[in-house]
A and B are shown apart, each in its own frame.
Chain A
Amino acid sequence: MKSIPCGQMVKVLRLEGTGALRRRIMDMGITKGTTVCVRKVAPLGDPMEITVRGYELSLRKQEAENIIVE
């Protein structure tokens, strides 16, 4: 998901990684089949902000790397 440009809606295919971080991403509502919208990137290029399940979530690109999207 790291490379998705701002304003684009994408569908989550699967999550990589393990343990606490992976669980955290799922607990926040990013699960298989969820539609997320990349809202913006912070002024210094990282982290990024997405809309998922009707709310705003920020995460670093490094963490977004674990989210595989269509």
Chain B
Amino acid sequence: MPIKIALAGNPNSGKTTLFNSLTGSSQYVGNWPGVTVEKKEGRLKGFKDVIITDLPGIYSLSPYTLEEVVSRNYILEERPDAIINLVDASNIERNLYLTTQVLELGIPVIVALNMIDLVNRDGDRIDADALSRALGCRMVGISALKEEGTETLAEQAVALARSGERCEKPIVFSPRVEMALKPLADIASWHYPAERVRWYSVKLLERDQKLLEEGKLTGEELAAAEEASAALEREYDDDCESIIANERYNFITELVDSSVIRGRVGMSVSDRIDSILTNRFLALPVFAAIMGVVYYVSVSWLGAIGTNWTREVLFGAVLMPGATAFLNSVGAAGWLTGLIVDGILGGVGSVLSFVPQMMLLFFFLAFLEDCGYMSRVAFIMDRIFRKFGLSGKSFIPLLISSGCGVPGIMASRTIENEKDRRMTIIVTTFIPCGAKLPIIALIGGALFPGSAWVAPAMYFLGVAMVVFSGLILKKTRLFLGDPSPFVMEMPRYHLPGLKSLLTHVWERSRAFIVKAGTVIFVACTVIWFLSNFGVAGSGIGLVSQEGSFLAAFGGLIDVLFVPLGFGNWQATVATLTGLAAKENVVGTLGVLLGSAGAAEKTPELLHGIANLFTSVSALSFLAFNLLCAPCVAAMGAIRREMGSWKWTLIALGYQTGLAYAVALVINQLGSVLVLGRPFSPGTAVAFVILAAAVWLVVRPEPGKKGKRPGAPAERETAASR
């Protein structure tokens, strides 16, 4: 049997850093509370038979949040052999609050005082021996970041787990509360092993709903417990949860007063930085400036240099001509050269050329996240986002989604409230990601040459749809309810470690490159085959595109897109392949209209596209492709983060339904207003959709007895359920 050691502690106390240092793995670390949502396991370095479990960061073992329940259940059901309770020594009062609860669980505990080096640097002194005596457990001072003291910690934790020596329970509560706990301990001892009685008796006093739901206790016992709680409450004129929380903190205050000497006076560096970054007048301009610099450097300036080099030199001038020359020299068939050069190198190349931009963007975002600024962004933006039924924390996923939707969706897990999190996941891919940029560039370049408004208009459309969705979804039954609380810790600023940043950039970039190497590789190959082969004579062979399998398939379903103005098979197929990866929309149009994806702006391609669309249907095509269900990688992320197929389908259904409605309105109204075509039934449908949209936004929030209105967006979500 391997030894199991659990790692428990407050969010942002350095648990993931410690986990990485103990196990030698490279999980992502952020200076942002709540980076770990699921628990993670790893083998302790230097010990073959010791497994470390990193639990989500929690402030308490209350039954209210997902992370707390995950941690509680793990400890109570899996019974690890020991718990390492990580305590941020620079924030010791609040961290010890969890410690007082962990000590009640009846499992050997060792407390690791993390960031002890920062405390010493600030001139504070912590008397670890005094703390250790008062809490009745071992204590080790460490610096997880510098890997100081972590080996001692590991050795002591393993020794503790092997010996199974439980700590003495500290005297946390007042004599009066202990008196109330006594009959509850008697009740608990009938049902639970001796070492866990303390935990259950405190939970009984608190009327912990998860414990009561377990249903182990008889009605009589419940009544006795209720009486003990009620008697205490009458005496204190407060509820038991508060009494317990108060006494825990009173105990800690006394303990800290006697064992911690504070040497720091005045403002710390972190305070000074913060006084500028969240200053009443400077905060918004500074925020805009930081984001401006990040985007300028990673998208326009350095990133664009890297991207152009990859596209034009590496692929355009070296790999593609090289491959052509090589294939010709070995006498490969013409179709094989076409497949490898135009299909695969062209398609994959157009995707890989985004890697430099992505890497720079990921680097900056990781830096901002890790140094503590992202929590301040949430703080600054909360007021605005709350109006749309989102929270300040939704801003981070939206921002990251402008690079790539997959990490954007994953970033949503820092939002504790489930409704907010789901809503953020649904709307976050409306923001055009890096892979959608080439679609905008291509269509814009073909139909609106020289005009600068297309790209900003598409970003604006994305943001507008986020706002619109927030406004209408928060009034639907699925999202109705009070806004989630925003009680959030603001971590201290610190300079992120370069290793951690680079690890993070590498992890995310690798995921992107792997996607290019697998999904997009296969998609390019398949598209090339399907668009070049078809039924020729009696068998299957090379045919012109109009006779290809792809044309036949696209022709079957392109009628769906007739109301949107792009009911031809090429546009239909491009949209479908965009579901594999959005870059494919460009790649497919490139393959179908006579040039490879890498050479994005050849005159023939632009000419071909200009023939395929009108100015109005081109915008409709853009809008649909930007807003509809995202690529499979992002769909997978949605599925993972939603944790249910029902919600995944609701999200994808809503996105596609909204995209269809928007594209239809653009096309139908555009046809009449811009192209001067006559009114048609489609125009009427467009007006109905507009009216419904206005009504959905302005209607009052339905009360409890509110009927379900049959508006398009809602019918969409209902149907996909």
Binding site for B on A (CB under 8 A): 14-15, 19-29, 31-34, 40-47, 49, 53-60, 62-63
Contact = CB atoms under 8 A, between A and B. Distances in A.
A40 B93 contact: no
From B62, B91, B487, B489, name the one whose CB has the most chain A CB atoms within 10 angstroms. Answer: B487
Query: Main SS of chain B's interface residues?
Result: helix
A26 B379 CA distance: 21
B490 A40 contact: no
B486 A47 contact: yes
Interface in B210-243: 238, 241-242
Given A29-B249, A56-B490, A59-B488, A23 B241 contact: yes
Contact of A42 (B62, B278, B485): B278
Contacts of B65: 20, 24
A55 B283 contact: no
Interface in B148-189: none
Given A31-B250, A58-B490, 4 more contacts: A24-B485, A26-B241, A47-B379, A57-B489
Interface stretch (B312-320, B380-388, B713-721): B380-388
Contacts of B64: 19-20, 23-24
A24 B250 CA distance: 17
A41 B280 contact: yes
Interface of B: 59-60, 62, 64-65, 91-94, 97, 238, 241-242, 245-246, 249-250, 274, 278-281, 283-284, 375, 379-380, 382-384, 386, 392, 483, 485-490, 492
Contacts, number: 120
B94 A40 contact: no
Nearest to A29: B94
B87 to A, nearest CB: 13
Contacts of B241: 22-23, 26
Contacts of B392: 47
A42 B283 contact: yes
Contacts of A45: 383
Contacts of B93: 29, 53-54
6 contacts: A20-B62, A20-B64, A29-B94, A41-B280, A53-B93, A53-B94
A49 B490 contact: yes
Contact of A31 (B60, B242, B283, B379): B242
Contacts of B383: 42, 44-47
A25 B487 contact: yes
Contact of A34 (B238, B249, B375): B249
A46 B382 contact: yes
Contact of B242 (A15, A46, A63): A15
A54 B91 contact: yes
A32 B246 contact: yes
B53 to A, nearest CB: 22
Contact of B249 (A22, A31, A60): A31
B62 A44 contact: no
A42 B94 contact: no
A19 B485 CA distance: 12
The 5 A-B residue pairs whose C-beta atoms are closest, nearest first, are A44-B383, A27-B60, A56-B490, A20-B64, A53-B93
Contacts of B279: 43
B489 A23 contact: no
Given A42-B278, A43-B280, A43-B284, A57 B62 contact: no
Given A28-B59, A29-B249, A34-B249, A40 B488 contact: no
A51 to B, nearest CB: 10
Contacts of A34: 249
Contacts of A47: 379, 382-383, 392, 486
Nearest to B278: A40
B125 to A, nearest CB: 15
Contacts of A43: 278-281, 283-284, 380
A64 B284 CA distance: 23
A46 B278 CA distance: 12
A10 B91 CA distance: 20
A38 B485 CA distance: 18
A58 B33 CA distance: 12
A52 B308 CA distance: 51
A44 to B, nearest CB: 4
B374 to A, nearest CB: 13
Contacts of A58: 375, 379, 486-490
Contact of A28 (B94, B242, B274, B280): B94
